[in-house]
Amino acid sequence: MIVFICGGSKSGKSSLAQNISKALSKDNPLYYVATMIPSDAEDKEKIRLHIEDRADMGFDTVECGTDIVTVLNTTDKNGTFMLDSVTALLTNEMYGDFGNIGVDIKAEERCIKDIRQLAETVNNIVIVSDYIFSDAEIYDESTELFRKSLADIGNNIAIYADIVIEMNFGNATVHKGKDIYETIL
């Protein structure tokens, strides 16, 4: 089962993803694939809150900031994986080491290929991404490339995902796979 959840900041994406992952995992291993590489105290605090939020849910946390397929080296592919988030993964793949102002234009292509490979290898995966596509700001070229790449990756996942969910203020709109979704939660 492949589930894709996309929504704005603090929309409840991760909470829903945790619940779906838990429901899908049954007795098999449950992995939280953490993609954010903390760069400051703010990131660390955000991570701490997420860890607190999923405490006692039975997740094994696997940290993987780039080359997402490598999580398979240390996990059981029969498990259920919660990938949180595509946004952080793309950030790491595109901007590389912090402080490097150049962008890797191959990042999008790599993310599309790697996420698909991971999704089609594991038993269940719940993929979380951010929705940053409906504002009236005019961005610099690098930020615009990031927005386009994140959208392209999401649109690609939506093609092969069994379920596609948009989150708004904790409410889920199921754009694809409504019948399957209702059997899970």
Closest CB 8 distance from another protein, rounded Å:
7
| x-marked contacts with another protein along 6-35 as a string, rule CB under 8 A | x-x---------------------------
**Cα gap 123→109, rounded to integer Å:** 24
Closest CB 109 distance from another protein, rounded Å:
15
Residue with tokens 């398979």: 72
Among 37, 147, 162, 184, binds another protein (CB under 8 A): 147
Q: For the sheet containing 163-168, what is the strand order?
A: 60-63, 30-34, 80-84, 124-130, 2-7, 163-168, 171-176
CA geometry: angle 67, 70, 75, nearest 5 deg: 145
Two structure tokens written together for 52: 């607190």
**Closer CB to another protein, residue 74 or residue 173?**
173
Task: Please report, as ranges, the residues that interact with another protein according to CB under 8 A.
Answer: 4, 6, 8, 131, 133-138, 147-148, 151-152, 154-155, 157-159, 164, 166, 173, 175-176
